[in-house]
Amino acid sequence: MDVLERIKQQVESNAVVIYMKGTPELPQCGFSSRASQALHACGVDFAYVNVLADPEVFQNLPRFANWPTFPQIYVSGELIGGCDITLELYQKGELKPMLEDAVAKKKTA
């Protein structure tokens, strides 16, 4: 399977997915750590892809949504952004309802 097809499948099959350096338990960069902590604080299950463990995804994900940096957070199949945008949404109280809505829609689909 083509790497861009694989990324598309991951994004579409998960209500919330973060492409990050490392894992939520062992992040390998500060931005990935802060973004995954914000997702975790919302109390919603989310998927993750460790881009350091998958060089193909690491090299090609920036082309997928024309976003050059990591982490990348996708909600309901759409890129919401990286660390700064995710933290801003969290601080405004907008992230949790967005994630809960995405998970609820995925369960009923």
- Give the chain's end-to-end CA distance (angstroms, integer): 25
Cα–Cα–Cα angle for 25, 30, 34, nearest 5°? 65
Q: Quick one: DSSP state of residue 26? A: S
Among candidates 12, 9, 5, 8, which has minimal Cα distance to 106? 12
Q: Any known ligand binding at 29? A: yes
Stretch (H or E) spanning 81: strand 78-81
The CB density around residue 23, as the number of other CB atoms within 10 Å, is 16
Annotated binding site: 29
Binding site residue list for [2Fe-2S] cluster = 29
